[in-house]
Amino acid sequence: MHLPKAELHLHIEGTLEPELAFALAARNGVDLPYADTEELRKAYLFEDLQTFLDLYYALMAVLRTEDDFAELADAYLARAAAQGVRHAEIFFDPQAHTDRGVPIGTVVEGLGRALDRSEEKHGISTQLIMCFLRDKSAESALETLEAAKPYLHRISAVGLDSAEVGHPPAKFREVYAAATALGLRKVAHAGEEGPPEYIREALDVLGVERIDHGLRCMEDPDLVDRLVSERIPLTLCPLSNVRLRAIDVLEQHPLRSMMDAGLLCTVNSDDPAYFGGYVGDTFHAVHEALGLDREQLRTLARNSFEAAFLDHDEERRAR
């Protein structure tokens, strides 16, 4: 029923469902400022990226032990498998945890434990992408890369996320150069709320291979031409764009015109516990709202494997 697909834009912390948040809060003795899951869900009305991020970071207080991270990732993988995901490249935000005293090793080893069993248990191959929080300093990003050195065998790529406007990619030139020297691949969020110029900078200054979101490229025809001719993948997240008010309603999402322009588009779920759906739900929603037909959905699924960090053999096995 669900097309086989790869998920390339997924924040593992954004898969924390209210039920698991309350279970972990009880286990770890963390007080949540909500009476129950229903009240928490009612808080999921966001005005923009920042109002979402405030809640997203606050709720992470419940994640404390290796077991917590393993349980979070395993729950995501089970849901993803049920929606046709065969390969997942998963973001995590180490600074959101190290800043509150949870060591990076706890995060990576906990996630790694679930990922190690993923192929056998869920039929999903996985990679980890370590993201730097762009509203923190360049020095903090460098310290994070340094702290990650014992765990690099588990990490495929670096990324850049959190509050975009006012934090251009060039701020992270040095840490991306260091990541390149360590053999890591590179992506960055750009053009979600920030201007098309941030997309150019992510390509030219950071050397990223893929743009996360990239929505605002549509304001700059020359940039669109370049993304098309260089076949730079965009990891779009239509449900996220609506919930964070980049787009008023899904019917107005430019996905169809982006595909028609020849852009290498993929659709992804971003923070599915907060934005109303996992990636299969997202495929279904763009089918309904934008009238994408079966062939266009197949193209999106095929694009997701082309855009993934898989070699040919791995890609054949995952499809």
Nearest residue to ligand ES4, by Cβ distance, number only: 161
3-state class of 292 per DSSP? coil
Residues annotated in a binding site for substrate: 271
List the Cα angle 119/123/125 in 5-degree steps.
50
Using the 8-state DSSP alphabet, how is residue 270 labeled?
B
Interface with ligand ES4, residue 271, by CB under 6 A: yes
Q: Which is nearer to ligand ES4, 79 or 189 (CB)?
A: 189
Q: Which is nearer to Zn ion, 32 or 46 (CB)?
A: 46
- Write each residue from 31 to 60 as x if it is in contact with ligand ES4 (CB under 6 A), else as -, in one continuous string: ------------------x------x----
Interface with Zn ion, residue 7, by CB under 5 A: no
> Residue 123 — left, alpha, or beta (φ > 0 → left; ψ -120 to 50 → alpha)?
left
Tokens at 141, concatenated: 């990003």
Amino acid at 9: H
Q: How far apart are CA 255 and CA 204, in angstroms?
A: 25
Interface with ligand ES4, residue 253, by CB under 6 A: no
Q: What is the CA radius of gyration of the chain?
A: 18
- Write each residue from 130 to 169 as x if it is in contact with ligand ES4 (CB under 6 A), else as -, in one continuous string: -------------------------------xx-------
How far apart are CB 114 and ligand ES4 at their closest, in Å? 19
Q: Which is nearer to ligand ES4, 135 or 314 (CB)?
A: 135
Interface with ligand ES4, residue 189, by CB under 6 A: yes
Q: How far apart are CA 1 and CA 122, in angstroms?
A: 17
Q: Which is nearer to Zn ion, 68 or 270 (CB)?
A: 270
Distances (CA, A) of 147 to 108, 113, 144, 176, 186: 11, 19, 5, 15, 18
> Residue 214 — left, alpha, or beta (φ > 0 → left; ψ -120 to 50 → alpha)?
left
Report, as residue numbers or ranges, the catalytic residues. 192
Residues 246-275 that bind Zn ion (CB under 5 A): 270
How far apart are CB 193 and ligand ES4 at their closest, in Å? 8
Interface with ligand ES4, residue 89, by CB under 6 A: no
Distances (CA, A) of 34 to 38, 44, 269: 9, 12, 25
3-state class of 12 per DSSP? helix
Burial class (CB in 10 A: 0-12, 13-18, 19+), 292: buried
How far apart are CB 162 and ligand ES4 at their closest, in Å? 5
Q: How far apart are CA 202 and CA 308, in angstroms?
A: 18
Interface with ligand ES4, residue 192, by CB under 6 A: yes
Amino acid at 96: A
Question: Which option in Zn ion, ligand ES4, none does residue 188 bind, with CB closer than 5 to 8 A by kind?
Answer: none
Interface with Zn ion, residue 89, by CB under 5 A: no
Q: Which is nearer to ligand ES4, 125 or 162 (CB)?
A: 162
- Write each residue from 218 to 247 as x if it is in contact with ligand ES4 (CB under 6 A), else as -, in one continuous string: ----------------------x-------
Chain positions contacting ligand ES4, by CB under 6 A = 11, 14, 49, 56, 161-162, 189, 192, 240, 270-271
Binding site for Zn ion (CB under 5 A): 270
